[in-house]
Amino acid sequence: MRIAMIGSGYVGLVSGACFADFGHHVVCVDKDARKIEALNQGEMPIYEPGLSELVGNNVRQGRLSFTTGLAGAVAQADAVFIAVGTPSRRGDGHADLSYVYDAAREIARATDGFTVIITKSTVPVGTGDEVERVMRQSRTDADFAVVSNPEFLREGAAIRDFKHPDRIVIGTTDERAKAVMAEIYRPLYLNRAPIMYTERRTAELIKYAANAFLATKITFINEMADLAEKVGANVQEVARGIGLDNRIGSKFLHAGPGFGGSCFPKDTLALIKTGQDYEAPLRIVETVAAVNDQRKRAMARKVLAACGGSLRDKTVAVLGLTFKPNTDDMRDSPSIPLITALQDMGATVRAYDPEGMEAAREVLSNVTYTEGAYDCAKDADVIVIVTEWEQFRALDLDAIKAAMKTPVMVDLRNVYPPEEVERYGFSYTGIGRAPAPAGRPQG
């Protein structure tokens, strides 16, 4: 199959490279000439484990290429994926679909023969209908079918997720489109990946519902962590205890500083707005978004308490800036409101992240970026673990303590057992596992 991938960002680049690895011929298109030039030179615009090698191999094999020329790529394609950004629109929180519709207009003018147009971008319910209308308005004689095919990729594990998916959702009732989509995903039949055909609007809603549900699980266990701290329970054991129930499952039950990234904050907000537009308010999702925003700001108060109630003229060492490990994505990362709040409290901030410091410089100011965890800890009054990179899971605590001014650790990801850190002479604060308060009721 010949595939044109419109948009060479996170979703477009990973999807395009994986489709090429299946044996399809893929052309990734992007308006950003510098990005395309860099890709043609083998430079990746994002950090994703294994992506550089995957792209390089398929370019060498002649199955993957990059261009700014949409018309030529679309004219030769059997299928065209729209994988452009849908950021939250300023002012009202709705998904900004202008890039999707601009792409649809250009695609309509360039198609040659029957072409399947697949929306890979995360879009609100009804977007596929509007894409079809825009395309028919742009070119009345075009022969095409519009399909919804949402992505379910986790940053840091995107290639594995693409090649070993839990499910593939395809929203269309057009039989010709179904045949094309079946051929595109045929290599995954060997993995017995379930392909679910639905109506287009249902497929669009599945994506938002999935992200909102996972965000709800994260927020739920974060609130349980707050309660655990008050009553003297251990939230990690609570999470394990409920996660062993097959009806609940253990994934996304890790207490922390709140969710961030390119999907959950944006998609929960867009789903809330959709519910409001259709007079079907989503009260649970509204609460999830509000609680998550409040939690990110509350993390600075946890650091403040660990330092005796004052951060004036103190140095805070922050380990981890990206919203999760194995990515360089800083979008809506909990580290941003945390560091801003620490600075407002009078602290000086030093920070280290294995991949995210270049992106962090774009959104954080007055931060000293260091070359490693031990350099970051130098002369610090407190060290704060924000992102659970593997490099931070087995630190030499003797060396960290020797570098710091005072041995205080705030572990916002519960990377370390409290007793282990305290054995090295640290004052330790974690999430959801404070000691039992004196005089608690027994029973």
Query: Active-site residue among 28, 263, 307, 376?
Result: 263
Could you tell me which of 50, 70, 63, 81 has the C-alpha nearest to residue 24? Answer: 63
Longest dimension (CA), the chain: 78
Q: What is the dihedral of CA 278, 282, 288, 294, to 10 degrees?
A: 60
Say what angle helices 200-231 and 264-277 make with each other, to 10 degrees: 120
Do 51 and 57 touch, CB atoms closer than 8 A?
no
User: Hey, which residues does 369 pair with through a beta bridge?
Assistant: 351
Examine the residue annotation and report whether 263 is marked as an active-site residue of this protein: yes
Do 228 and 239 touch, CB atoms closer than 8 A?
no
Do 74 and 111 touch, CB atoms closer than 8 A?
yes
Measured CA distances, 312 to 244, 309, 320, 345, 395 (Å): 44, 9, 22, 6, 27
Say what angle helices 264-277 and 283-306 make with each other, to 10 degrees: 140
One-letter identity of residue 83: A
Which residues are catalytically annotated?
263
